[in-house]
Amino acid sequence: MKAAKSKSKDFLLAVEGLTVSFDGFKAVDDLSFYLDPNEIRVIIGPNGAGKTTVLDLICGKTRATSGSIRFQGRELTKMKEHQIVHSGVGRKFQTPSVFEDLTVFENLEVSYPQGHSVMGALAFKRDLAVVEEIESVARTIFLEDMLEQPASLLSHGQKQWLEIGMLLIQKPKLIMLDEPVAGMSVVERKKTAELLKVITREHTVLVIEHDMQFVGDIADRVTVMHQGKVLSEGSIEHVKSDPKVIEVYLGH
C-alpha cells in the first residue's frame, strides 16, 4: 500500500482513506483502491456493501466525510458535480435515467459536451459534426435505427444502453456503471458485454455488478466490498477462491 501511494500519479483514479458516515453509520469506511488507465474494474459485494455510495462519492453526489479521491492528479472531493463531469468522469445510475420525453437523438444531443453553460446552451447549434458524432455513438449502442424514437418507448435494456451512450458522447476518461445488465435478457447481456469491450479500448471503466458470469466476462480486476471496506481485490479467479469472499458473498 505504501508503495502504491507514492506512485499514485500514474493511476487514473486513486481513492484513499475514503469514509462517509450518515448520522454515525459508516456506509464507506476508510476505503482505498486504485485504477490503472484503460482497466475494467468491477466492484462486487453484498447488498448494502456501499458500492453505489462509492460511485456517489466519486461523482460528487454524496460528499465524503474524509479521505481523498484523485483523478488524474486532481482532487475531486471539493469539486462540484458538473466540474467533475467536465474533468472526465461519467456516471450511469442504477435505475435507467434517460429523458423520457426526448427522442434518442435528443437524449444524446443534450449530453453532447458542448454548450454546457447557460449562454452556451442558448448558442448551441446542431451542426454536421454533432449529428455525425451522435450517429456514430448510436451505432455503438445498437440504437442507430431508433434515433427518432422517444426514449419512453425503448425497452429497459435499450434505455440502459442509451444511458451508456449518453456517457460515451461526453468522451469521459472514466466511465462508471451501476449494475448495467440488471434486468436484461440473456441476449442483451451478451451485447452489453460486447459494448463494454468496445468502450474499454478508449476508456477506463468502473462497473458495479452482481452477475458473476458477467463479471468473469469483462473484468480485468475485481474489488469485493463488504460493510464499506475492501474485502478482497485481484483477478476474478483470485477473488472467487478467497475464503472471505465465499463466506460473505458468494456462498458455499
Partner 1 sequence: MKDSPVVKWFASREGLYYLALALLLVVVLPVMLDAFRLNMVGKYLTYAFVAIGLVMCWGKAGILSLGQGVFFGLGGYCMAMYLKLEASTPEATAIQSTPGIPDFMDWNQITALPWFWEPFNSFAFTLIAVIGVPVLLALIIGVAMFTRRVGGVYFAIITQAIAAILTILIIGQQGYTGGINGITDLRTLMGWDIRTDEAKTALYFVTVALLFVCLFAARLIQKRKLGRILVAMNTQENRVRFSGYDVAAFKIFVFCLAAAFAGIGGALFTLSVGFMSPSFIGIVASIEMVIFCALGGRLSILGAVYGALLVNAAKSGFSESFPELWPFAMGALFIGVVLAFPNGLAGLYQTYVMPLEERLFRRKPKTDGSQKAKATAPAQTPGERGKEYDPLIDQYSPEKS
Ligand X SMILES: Nc1ncnc2c1ncn2[C@@H]1O[C@H](COP(=O)(O)OP(=O)(O)OP(=O)(O)O)[C@@H](O)[C@H]1O
Binding site for partner 1 (CB under 8 A): 59, 61, 80-82, 85-86, 90-91, 93, 97-103, 105-106, 109-111, 113, 115-118, 121-124, 126, 147-148, 166, 170
Of the pair 23, 148, the CB lying nearest partner 1 is at 148
Of the pair 6, 47, the CB lying nearest ligand X is at 47
At CB < 8 A and 24+ separation, what contacts does 128-133 make?
133/169
CB of 13 closer than 8 Å to CB of 174: yes
Q: What are phi and psi of 20, to 5 degrees?
A: -135, 135
The least distance separating partner 1 from the CB of residue 131, rounded to whole angstroms, comes to 8
The least distance separating ligand X from the CB of residue 110, rounded to whole angstroms, comes to 27
Task: Return the ∠ at Cα 31 (arms to 30 and 34), rounded to 5°.
Answer: 145
C-alpha 24/C-alpha 14 separation (Å) is 25
Contacts of 168 (CB under 8 A, 6+ apart): 90, 137, 140, 141, 175, 199, 203
- Is residue 52 close enough to count as binding Mg ion by CB under 5 A? yes
Closest-CB residue for Mg ion?
52
Positions in the binding site for ligand X (CB under 6 A): 22, 27, 45, 47-53
48's contact among ligand X, Mg ion, partner 1, none, with CB below 5 to 8 A by partner kind, is: ligand X
The least distance separating partner 1 from the CB of residue 221, rounded to whole angstroms, comes to 25
Place of cell 440488471: 182
Of the pair 11, 93, the CB lying nearest Mg ion is at 93
